[in-house]
Amino acid sequence: MAATERITMTMRELDRFKVIQDVADGKLKPWPAAERLELTTRQVRRLVARVAICVR
């Protein structure tokens, strides 16, 4: 039986995660995500890559 883990996130962190997930799923382009998160598109691409590795 698989154990589940609980993590605590602030609303800001949760919103950031959802935006990065939307980019990874193809629902959102990197440049609007970058504007929303106040990051560069390169930073968004790097975050998407890191999330893709961790979520697998």
Residue-wise pLDDT for 1-56, tens only, equals 567 888 899 999 999 999 999 999 999 999 999 999 999 999 999 999 999 888 76
Residue 33 lies in a domain: yes
Residue 13 lies in a domain: no
Q: How many domains does the chain fold into? A: 1
Q: At what angle do helices 30-37 and 11-25 cross, to 10 degrees?
A: 170
Residue 41 lies in a domain: yes
Residue 40 lies in a domain: yes
The pTM is what? 0.81
Give the pLDDT score at 17: 94
**Structural domain boundaries enclosing 49:** 23-55
Residue 15 lies in a domain: no
Residue 7 lies in a domain: no
First to last CA, the chain: 18
Q: Tokens 């193809």 label which residue?
A: 26
